[in-house]
Amino acid sequence: MRVIQFREALREAMVEEMRRDPRVFLMGEEVAEYNGAYKVSQGMLEEFGPERVIDTPISELGFAGIGVGAAMNGLRPIIEFMTFNFSLVAIDQVVNSAAKILSMSGGQYHCPIVFRGPTGNAGQLAAQHSQNFENWYANTPGLKVVVPSNPYDAKGLLKSAIRDDDPVIFMESELMYSDKGEVPEQEYLIPIGQAKVVRQGTDVTLVSFGKMMKVALGAADEAAKEGISAEVIDLRTVRPIDYNAVVNSVKKTNRLVIIEEAWPLGSISTDVAFQVQRMAFDYLDAPILRVNSMDVPLAYAPTLIEATLPNVKRTMQAIKSVLYCN
């Protein structure tokens, strides 16, 4: 199977859907003339023209609102935020318009829109450009929230998101755009809301999503060197969450560690921990542990970034704690 970059998988998903459905268009800062801030939309202006690949001013609230109105009137916009940190400027349109219109219209208006772009830390970008808001959006009824971890999932999930009749938040990572992975040339879709067991194990379950899957898989490799068999689950979607996949794994391993880049309070890992103890309490042989970013704004200094974010070392400490209850 061919190997392509994460950004190429996203581009293929958008191009294929725009060829398939003339109602789909892309709008955002630098998506057209500049080929995208991260070159995700490279070449799309040449194929589809300025009416379907649209550069915008630095005005997230404005172009998000245009996208919502277009979606309500029968089009299928893809709205790119240069970073989801900037989506806070547009959050009223995302949360109060896109997410609520189906309910407030009594089912008369759908809002088939995708808001996509990078999330989380991307190196030395400091506190205002390094945040994770997956849990914010996942806390909003009416939204679906997707956070892929590899090129294969990125393409299949984005195609499903574009075809969805309701709003989808699609969150990527600047640090993953150059990642490579196998992606088939033939068309495929990945259903929104299905987790994936990416590594089988018997001693402990590790759950994560997005680029933190690298930490989870790295910790599983380290654990294997010490004779510990870790099962690794990629949630892929954080609204809806595939709780059954996690519960079924915990019933086998009896221990759970959740790795997530967001801050600990009100995080995705908080809810996963609650649901697992609710549905599988009698199967747990140790308390559920979470490995989150420290509860502080992310600093600029690389040493402080390393100390703040989840990593393999902290995850290994959590694994040993649930195994040996120390």
Could you list the active site residues?
Answer: 60, 129
For the beta sheet containing 204-208, the strands, ordered from the edge strand earlier in sequence to the opposite edge, are 196-199, 230-234, 204-208, 256-259, 289-291
The CA distance from 247 to 253, in Å, is 10
Residue among 168, 61, 72 at smallest CA distance from 116: 168
Q: In one letter, which amino acid is 79?
A: I
The CA distance from 230 to 216, in Å, is 9
Residue among 181, 200, 293 at smallest CA distance from 245: 200
**What HEC string does the chain produce?**
CCEEEHHHHHHHHHHHHHHHCCCEEEEECCCCCCCCCCCCCCCHHHHHCCCCEEECCCCHHHHHHHHHHHHHCCCEEEEECCCCCHHHHHHHHHHHHHCCHHHHCCCCCCCCCEEEEECCCCCCCCHHHCCCCHHHHHCCCCCEEECCCCHHHHHHHHHHHHHCCCCEEEEECHHHCCCEEECCCCCCCCCCCCCEEEECCCCEEEEECHHHHHHHHHHHHHHHHCCCCEEEEECCEEECCCHHHHHHHHHHHCCEEEECCCCCCCCHHHHHHHHHHHHHHHHCCCCCEEECCCCCCCCCCHHHHHHHCCCHHHHHHHHHHHHHCC
Q: Is the dihedral of CA 295, 85, 314, 326 positive or negative?
A: positive
